[in-house]
Amino acid sequence: MEAYRQALSRVHEAMQWFLVADELRVLRVLTSSSARLPVLEQIALSEHSADARTPFAVLEAPVSAGDDGWELRCEELRDDWEELAALYAGADPPLALPALEPPPPTHGLTRFVGELAWMLAHLPEALPGLTLVLAPVEIEDPRVWVASLRALLGVASLSGARFVVVELDEPHLAPLLEELGELVDRVDARVDEEAARRELAAMIDLMASAPPGADGARLAGLAGPSVAPPRRWNAPPELPPEDVARLYFDADLPPGLADQERVQALKVAMLRAAASAQAGDTATAIAEQRRARELADDIGLEREAVVLQIALGSYHLQGGDAPGAERAFESARTIALDRRFPELGAQAQLALAAAQLFDQRALEAAASYAWAGHLAHQCGQPVLAIEGYRLSGQLYAGEGRADDAAQAWQQALAIAEAAEPAERKASTAPEVADALAALLRARGLDERAASLEEQAALLRADAEEPPTPPTEERA
């Protein structure tokens, strides 16, 4: 769409100048939340420009109220170094990057500065520095982020590093940028959201008005004739609809996919629902999403119909209709289990619990989270199961039901013990062990609490093991 194309074009032009203007130290990219991912992709593509002389590292760790994110950024930076080492080792001619040393005993921003300074000092002569793209997925406290960047940019030993800083929606960094003066360039790549909505609505209308037999751009909502193009003189004869349906059946696909008009109607309904929800028109979003779910069922897309039903519940919840959301999620769970999609049943149950919590029915939500954990465990989804039981225990504890909380957390830890190491690493099992330890210590069971605290420390140590260096080439 034109609104997004203009924003990305501004980012492209700013990056091209930043690559050749060596006097610049920082490029601030201000964009909209809805354009964050395409903007990051546009920035990352600049690494492959003929004018790019330094490799890029994209760091997306969030800034929360209790964690400024620098510890996680250290891990992201080390991961990027390992990827670069593997990439340059296979180049022609190869370029050697030294192996990383063990992490230093320091933490946070101090550790990050030390790690970055070491990397800059050990780069091969052919690489004059590093370009760091700092793009937190979320910033809860902008003051913490601004203070961190001010300290980072003030370190003299990091002169070989250049920075692209991505801000979303609001220019919190303006005072810092003024301090840096001519070392900074700026680009405003925010999207005109109203124009983008109008463009999307027009595109959906064009999709809906595509004539039978249309193909290509017309089906995608681009400009085209209002009638289907004539058949070529040498085109093979069209198969009867029943023969086309048989081909889909033989390929183990729903025969309903042969009905291209119904498939197009499904795409239009899904897009209209999403666009309406984004615009805050939840009534239209619900109506279009319900139509999309019905079309998916008619076509024979059984799994997709369950996913659409879960999304229907989320639109109800967005509109403040908790009872409607609960009915949608309960229906999605029932259908998913009937159709033998247990992982979708667990997801629907988690969503149901969230709707009950939204409606301030904590005990019902706690029971629903526990059931979601049970369903996820049954279908071999330990990470989801641990989270379900964790949330259940958290709600029970908040309602003064300590025994029920302990039971839920014990179930979560039992699942974690039986899980694969990678699954434990991706789970919230350490937080569960901490919570259960605190509960037991409050009851005077210090020995059992200490054992759980030791278990939490071991789980965290497993999660902090250095990742295996990647073998695939950087995208």
Instruction: Output the CA torsion 410→412→416→417 (10° steps).
Output: 20
Look at residue 472 and tell me whether its pLDDT is greater than 90: no
pLDDT tier, 309 (very low <50, low <70, confident <90, very high otherwise): very high
Closest CA to 412 of 433, 398, 397: 433
**Domain boundaries, position 271:** 193-223+248-360
Q: Are residues 164 and 75 in the same domain?
A: yes
Calculate ∠ Cα 236-242-243, nearest 5°.
Answer: 45
pLDDT tier, 461 (very low <50, low <70, confident <90, very high otherwise): low
pLDDT tier, 310 (very low <50, low <70, confident <90, very high otherwise): very high
Out of 144, 175, 191, pick the residue that ends a domain: 191
pLDDT tier, 468 (very low <50, low <70, confident <90, very high otherwise): very low
Element (H, E) at 29: strand 26-31
In a domain, 442, yes or no: no
pLDDT, residue 459, reads: 62
- pLDDT tens digits for 139-194? 888 888 999 999 999 888 888 899 999 999 888 888 888 888 889 899 998 887 77
Task: Flag the least confident range among 60-64, 255-259, 395-399, 448-452.
Answer: 448-452
In a domain, 374, yes or no: no
Contact 200, 3 (CB under 8 A): no
In a domain, 50, yes or no: yes
CA distances to 17, 146, 179, 182 from 167, in Å: 19, 11, 17, 19
Calculate ∠ Cα 387-390-396, nearest 5°.
Answer: 140
The pTM assigned to this predicted structure is 0.67
What average pLDDT does range 323-352 have in this prediction? 94
Q: Are residues 153 and 219 in the same domain?
A: no
Total domains, the chain? 2
pLDDT, residue 59, reads: 92
pLDDT tier, 388 (very low <50, low <70, confident <90, very high otherwise): very high
Look at residue 469 and tell me whether its pLDDT is greater than 70: no
In a domain, 8, yes or no: yes
Q: Are residues 104 and 198 in the same domain?
A: no
Q: The domain that contains 219 carries what CATH number? A: 1.25.40.10
State how beta strands 26-31 and 161-168 pair.
Answer: parallel
pLDDT tier, 34 (very low <50, low <70, confident <90, very high otherwise): confident
Task: Flag the least confident range among 10-19, 101-110, 331-340, 341-350.
Answer: 101-110
Q: For the chain, what is the total number of helices (H) and then of strands (E)? A: 19, 5
In a domain, 462, yes or no: no
Percent of all residues in the chain with a pLDDT value above 70, rounded to a whole number: 91
Distance CA 212, CA 206 (A): 13
Closest CA to 25 of 147, 145, 179: 179
Q: Are residues 184 and 324 in the same domain?
A: no
Mean pLDDT of the chain: 85
pLDDT, residue 5, reads: 85
Q: Are residues 133 and 171 in the same domain?
A: yes
Q: Are residues 112 and 165 in the same domain?
A: yes
Calculate ∠ Cα 306-311-317, nearest 5°.
Answer: 135
- pLDDT tens digits for 89-126? 877 777 888 888 888 888 889 999 999 999 999 888 88
